[in-house]
Amino acid sequence: MSVSPSAMITGASTGIGYATAEFLVEKGWNVFAGVRQQADADRLKEALGEAVLPVMCDVTDAAQVKAAGDQVREALGDQTLAGLVNNAGVAVAGPLLHLPVEDMQRQLEINVTGQLRASQVFAPLLGTETGRSGKPGRIVNISSVAGFSAMPLVTPYACSKHAMEAFTQGLRRELLMYGIDVVAINPGPIATPIWDKAEELDPNQYADTDYISAIERLMGFMVSRGKKGLPPVKVAEAIYAGLTDAKPKLNTVLTPEPLQSWLLSVLPSRMTDRIITKQLGLTPDSLTR
Ligand code: NAD
């Protein structure tokens, strides 16, 4: 009898993580769903059934990530974990010169250090330790198109996703000897609750800076872009391909704005600087003082 493959997904309560849990269950996988609230654990179990085991896993909490690893180890027995999806993330915005340093630390703590913690805990189950049955597992990191290009005023987020690109590449090279592949998915706007959380950012904290009107403009622009984003199931499909294709793509870009992404990748950076700053009102002639 063949045993169903299993994956651990961090940040599975909503959005891309939830859609991926649902998609993998439909494909016959077992899912360890990282959540932070008991209510989310109960909701996932109710909605997705027996194939889902919710595990408490705040990626900023080392003890909790380790306990999640112990729980997954016990459930797996000697079976290899087929996938780790490093998905948990938040988006921090604000002009760099005025951003509370703690906001940048929080951004990197969740989106980068948190993925390191999860990768360290789950790598033995993916096959860095001996004695597991089944072929080595894979790691799929949820990066972003912001991993290639930094939008002003959302630079903390872009820093975290640029770091995710380096993390993915370096980890892939470090895990090659174990046969554990590591790939990244780079979504553009996807319609998930992350955009509703962007609306919670209070621009008033930057009211006395030269950036306030650009922030207001950017927020309106981003929230409407997010709501027109691709459905999260598209990312779930790409994650599944990353977990199962014989030779998965190292980076899968998924965006409703392919032309914009392509232009960003081919235009000279100085030209892109001029286009973006003009759109947001960040050119020298937009300074009102
Ligand atoms: P979301 O807000 O619906 O999901 C984020 C998930 O991460 C939630 O389950 C949340 O509870 C969890 N999370 C937040 N902090 C956590 C922590 N400390 N520990 C564990 N879990 C934590 O948003 P989403 O859009 O589904 O985001 C998922 C991933 O996709 C993120 O890494 C995000 O950067 C990335 N992404 C999203 C988009 C988009 O447009 N929505 C685009 C590119 C990349």
CATH number, residue 41: 3.40.50.720
In a domain, 182, yes or no: yes
In a domain, 179, yes or no: yes
User: Which residue from 53, 52, 59, 8 is spatially nearest to 26, judged by alpha carbons?
Assistant: 52
If one counts the domains in the chain, the total is 1
Q: Which atom of ligand 1 is nearest to the CA of 235?
A: 30
* One-letter identity of residue 232: P
3 state SS of 56: strand
Which carries the bigger pLDDT value, residue 159 or residue 201? 159
Tell me what pLDDT residue 76 has: 98
Q: In angstroms, rounded to a whole number, what is the distance separating the alpha carbons of residues 256 and 188? A: 7
Confidence of residue 171 (pLDDT cuts 50, 70, 90): very high
Query: Residue 84 gets which letter from DSSP?
Result: E
Q: In angstroms, rounded to a whole number, what is the distance separating the alpha carbons of residues 246 and 264? A: 30
Residue 170, pLDDT above cutoff 80: yes
The answer to whether 119 and 218 are in contact (CB under 8 A) is no
Q: Show the ligand 1 pocket: residues with CB < 6 angstroms.
A: 10-11, 13-17, 34, 36, 57-60, 87-90, 110, 114, 142, 144, 187, 189-190, 192-194, 197, 226, 229
Q: Which atom of ligand 1 is nearest to the CA of 197?
A: 2
In a domain, 220, yes or no: no
Task: Catalogue the long-range contacts made by 26-33 (C-beta closer than 8 Å, 24 or more residues apart).
Answer: 27/240, 28/4, 29/4, 29/5, 29/82, 30/4, 30/5, 30/6, 31/6, 31/7, 32/6, 32/7, 32/8, 32/68, 32/71, 32/72, 32/75, 33/9
In a domain, 246, yes or no: yes
Confidence of residue 225 (pLDDT cuts 50, 70, 90): confident
Q: In angstroms, rounded to a whole number, what is the distance separating the alpha carbons of residues 136 and 128? A: 8
In a domain, 211, yes or no: no
User: Which residue from 68, 197, 184 is spatially nearest to 120, judged by alpha carbons?
Assistant: 68
Confidence of residue 244 (pLDDT cuts 50, 70, 90): very high
Residue 197, pLDDT above cutoff 80: no
In a domain, 280, yes or no: no
In a domain, 76, yes or no: yes
Identify whether 157 is a catalytic site residue: yes
Chain centroid to Cα 68, Å, comes to: 19
The answer to whether 81 and 140 are in contact (CB under 8 A) is no
pLDDT above 70 coverage of the chain, percent: 98
Residues 200, 37, 12, 51, Cα dihedral to 10°: -160
In a domain, 185, yes or no: yes
Which residue range(s) make up the domain with 106? Answer: 6-90+101-192+231-255
Measured in angstroms, how far is the CA atom of residue 73 from the centroid of ligand 1?
25
Please give the span between the terminal C-alpha atoms of the chain, in angstroms, as a whole number: 73
**Residue 217 structure tokens:** 């403009």
